[in-house]
Amino acid sequence: MVPVDLFSDTHTLPTAAMRSAMANALVGDEQMGEDPTTRLLQDRVAELLDTEAALFLPTGSMCNKVGVAALTRPGDAVICDSMAHVLRFEGGGSAVLSGVVFEPLATEKGWFTPDQVEAVPIGGNVYQPRSALVTLENTNNFGGGTVWPIDIYEAVCATARERGSAVFTDGARLLNASAASGIVPSRWAASVDGLWIDLSKGLGCPGGAVLAGSAGFIAEANRFKYMFGGGLRQSGILAAAGVYALDHHLDRLTDDHVRAARFAEGLAALGYSVETPETNMAFFDPTPVGLTASEAVARFVAQGVRVSVVAGRIRAVTHLDVDDAGIDAALAVAAGIAAASANSTSG
C-alpha cells in the first residue's frame, strides 16, 4: 500500500508550485533588512493579524524563545498550561536562554480560566518571582488540537493585563483555530502582546515561522533573534514558500479538519476509543480493541500508516499530503489491526 503519514503536519512536502515560487524568489540580505520577499511575507502576516509589525524566524520554537525573552527578564515566572509546548517540548530553552521559571496550570483541553490565572501569586518581591507573562497555545497540541473558546481566551488576556502580566500566544496552528472556529486571525491577535504562526505545519512550507506584534515588541524580538543565532541572509527563498501558502493553502485547512473527523468516526465504528477532533488531530486509544498504544502504533507503522504515541494515546494528524484515499487506506489498516487483535484474544 502507499504509505500514509499521519505522524505530524510538519511532514508535509512543498508542492511543485511552491517549489517554483521559491526558485524564482527575489532575494537580498535579510540581516540587513534587504530581502524583498522576506519583507513581503512579514507585511502579509502583519496584515493578516492586524499587528504593527512581523518578523520572519527560522523555526516556531525560536518564535517561542524569542517571544518569551522579549517579554520577560531573568527570574520572572511564566504562566502556562502544564503540557504547553514552550514548557515541555523545547529542551528547556526559555529557562536556559531567558532565566525564567514556569507556573504550569492543570487543564483538560489545554486552555485555562481567568480564575486559574488569579490563583497564581503576582510576586515580584524578594521571595517570589514576578508573574510577568501568561502564555497561551492555540490550537493546543497535546490537549488534542483544541481551540480556545474565544470568550475565555479574551477573559484570560484581560485578567493577565489587570495583574500587570504580558500575554503571548504560541500560534503554531492558529490558522487551524481560525478555520475551525470562524474567528478571524486578527481577533486572536488583538488581546495579546505577541504571537506567531508556523509556516511548516498546515500551510505546508519546508520551514519558517512569523512572529507578530507591536513595532516595539518586534524591535526587541529582532534583537533576541540575532542573539539566539537566527540571523539569515537570502531568506527570501524560504519566505517565498510562506507567501505562496498564504495565497493558496489557507482555505484548504478545513479539508484537513474534515478528514480528521472522518478518520475519528471510522475508528470509533471499529471499536477504538476516540476523542472528537476539533481541528486536524485525531487522538484515540486502542485499549478497547485489546492493544496498548505502543503495540498499536507498531502495527500501524508496520502496515504503512505512520502515527505516534502522545501523552499515552495515539495521535494522527491530517495535512495537505493526506487525501481521502489516504484516510480510506488508514482506516482499512485500523480495521485489520482491530480484527487481528480480536482473533488473537478469542483464540
Residues 269-316: pLDDT tens digits?
999 999 999 999 999 999 999 999 999 999 999 999 999 999 899 999
- Is the pTM higher than 0.75? The answer reads yes
Burial, 126: exposed, middle or buried (Cβ in 10 Å; 0-12, 13-18, 19+)?
exposed
CA dist 180 and 279 (Å) reads: 6
157 C-beta neighbours (distance < 10 Å), count = 23
- In this predicted structure, what is the pLDDT of residue 342? 80
State mean pLDDT over 176-193.
98
The answer, yes or no, to whether residue 347 has pLDDT greater than 70, is no
Please write the tens of the pLDDT for every residue from 17-51.
Answer: 999 999 999 999 999 999 999 999 999 999 999 99
Alpha carbon dihedral 245, 251, 253, 254, in 10-degree steps, equals: 180
Please write the tens of the pLDDT for every residue from 139-162.
Answer: 999 999 999 999 999 999 999 999
Provide CATH code, domain 252-346: 3.90.1150.10
CA dist 347 and 126 (Å) reads: 66
Task: Provide the residue ranges of all domains of the chain, joining segments of one domain with +.
Answer: 16-248, 252-346
Provide CATH code, domain 16-248: 3.40.640.10
Q: Ramachandran region of residue 229, left (φ > 0), alpha (ψ -120 to 50) or beta?
A: left
- In this predicted structure, what is the pLDDT of residue 343? 77
Q: Report H helices in the chain.
A: 16-23, 36-49, 60-71, 85-88, 93-98, 114-118, 150-162, 174-181, 185-190, 215-227, 236-248, 253-269, 293-302, 324-346
State mean pLDDT over 198-219.
98
The answer, yes or no, to whether residue 345 has pLDDT greater than 70, is no
